[in-house]
Amino acid sequence: MPRLAANLAYLFADRPPLDRFGAAAAAGFRAVELQYPYDQDPAAMRAAIVRHGLVMLGINTAPLPGAPSGIAGVPGRESEFAALFERAVSLVTALGGRTIHCLAGVVPEGEREAGEATFVENLRHAADRAAAHGLIILIEPLNTVDRPGYLLTRAEQAAAILDRVERANVRMQFDFYHQQIMGGDLLRRFERHLPLIGHVQIAAVPSRAEPDEGEVNYAVVLAALDRLGYAGFVGCEYVPRGRTEDGLGWAAPWGVATAVS
């Protein structure tokens, strides 16, 4: 059965950050992912994770002023990326987490080949650093509607990058929301890339709300993940229509509870 993880940048976001861990555990989530928890106290977050018996998954590399979508694939910013990555390693290690999503960044049309080469080199260096801590690096293709100009947009492109990086601890984060927008054919593409996939995320398309509406049938998708042998967590990275608890009906078959009040 798919194991659901709460993305606490999106879910329970009506609460202060430290209160979201308990809310996720109370709803039945067994794991959490955090995105950008750089302004929070790592020891307090770790204590909350342990207190609520949660598995801590991953964080993202931090955004920079003028570069909210990262710089891992931006030529000329390699030393800044190395520093960003070290910061992510320290934080995720303090949280007891497992993965760092390295955001590639926005790269102008004429520089995308150079951007990919930079991304590959940066990922190789980062992978070697990550290996020393037993960490996995994730790269995630994002859709061009929400992120115009983002370097990494399709699962096929991510697979080609991973092929060039040649490091087993660098893997693809397959977000069904983004990949539906960038070509669809979700189950075939997921299966084709499964050996490279390190994490999965879901949200309705096109609303990015609870995965119980829109053009993707997530009951079918989640059953397929099981059938195909995906053993990782499924990150719930959606924007709740209202209170998170009130929209969890879709997750009841997967062990997460709906609101009682």
Binding site for ligand LJYKPCYY (CB under 6 A): 35, 60, 101, 140, 142, 175, 178, 201, 237
Indicate the residue among 68 and 253 with the shorter CB distance to ligand LJYKPCYY: 68
CB of 116 to ligand LJYKPCYY, least distance (A): 19
140 is a catalytic site residue: yes
78 is a catalytic site residue: no
DSSP secondary structure string for all residues of the chain: -PEEEEETTTTTTTS-GGGHHHHHHHHT--EEE-B--TTS-HHHHHHHHHHTTPEE-EEEPPPBTTBTTBSTT-TT-HHHHHHHHHHHHHHHHHHT--EEE--B-B--GGGHHHHHHHHHHHHHHHHHHHHTTT-EEEE----TTTSTTBS---HHHHHHHHHHH--TTEEEEEEHHHHHHTT--HHHHHHHHGGGEEEEEE--TTT-S-TTSSS--HHHHHHHHHHHT--SEEEE----SS-GGGGGGGGGGGT-PPP--
Q: Which residue in 116, 140, 210, 245 is the catalytic one?
A: 140
CB of 237 to ligand LJYKPCYY, least distance (A): 6
Indicate the residue among 236 and 256 with the shorter CB distance to ligand LJYKPCYY: 236
Binding site for Mg ion (CB under 5 A): 175, 201, 237
Indicate the residue among 238 and 250 with the shorter CB distance to ligand LJYKPCYY: 238
CB of 261 to ligand LJYKPCYY, least distance (A): 31
List active site positions. Answer: 140, 237
